[in-house]
Amino acid sequence: MKTDVKTWEDKTLGISKIEGLNFDGDRYWEECTITIQGKGEGPWPLKESAQSFTIYLNGEKIFSEVLFGEKVIKKTINSKNGFNITGDMAHQVAALTSSADGSVTVKCTYKESSVLNQ
């Protein structure tokens, strides 16, 4: 079993678009583990606060939560078609003094023998 890992991360005062997590249709994808991490800083006395994440798999919403810390989602793909993970991240408190800080890591498995362009 082989894996392909892609990571998106950002720190912003506004809403950040999650993009660049594209997996080509050049192999048979089996399963993906999506790890979402959120941590941000708000105005005193909040200091640490949660982030709002919405995550899509090929345009279908698979996750929408306010999160502080880490959340792991497993998705079965079982397809040779390419796919992408997109979405957005924002600070839970809509204020210009609060920064959203987070990352999304996607780790997908495939059989080495399934790679089409060898």
Question: Going by CATH, does the domain composed of 2-114 fall within 2.40.50.100?
Answer: no
Question: Which is more confident, 114 or 83?
Answer: 83
3-state secondary structure of 47: coil
CA geometry: angle at 47 spanning 65 and 8, to 5°?
45
**Alpha-carbon gap, residue 98 to 33, rounded angstroms:** 29
Q: Is the pLDDT of residue 103 over 90?
A: yes
pTM for the model stands at 0.85
3-state secondary structure of 112: helix
Task: List, for residues 14-63, the tens digit of each pLDDT value.
Answer: 789 999 999 999 999 999 999 999 876 655 555 566 788 999 999 999 99
Q: Do the beta carbons of residue 55 and residue 87 sit within 8 Å?
A: yes
Q: Do the beta carbons of residue 71 and residue 62 sit within 8 Å?
A: no
Which sequence spans correspond to the domains of the chain? 2-114
Q: Is the pLDDT of residue 68 over 90?
A: no
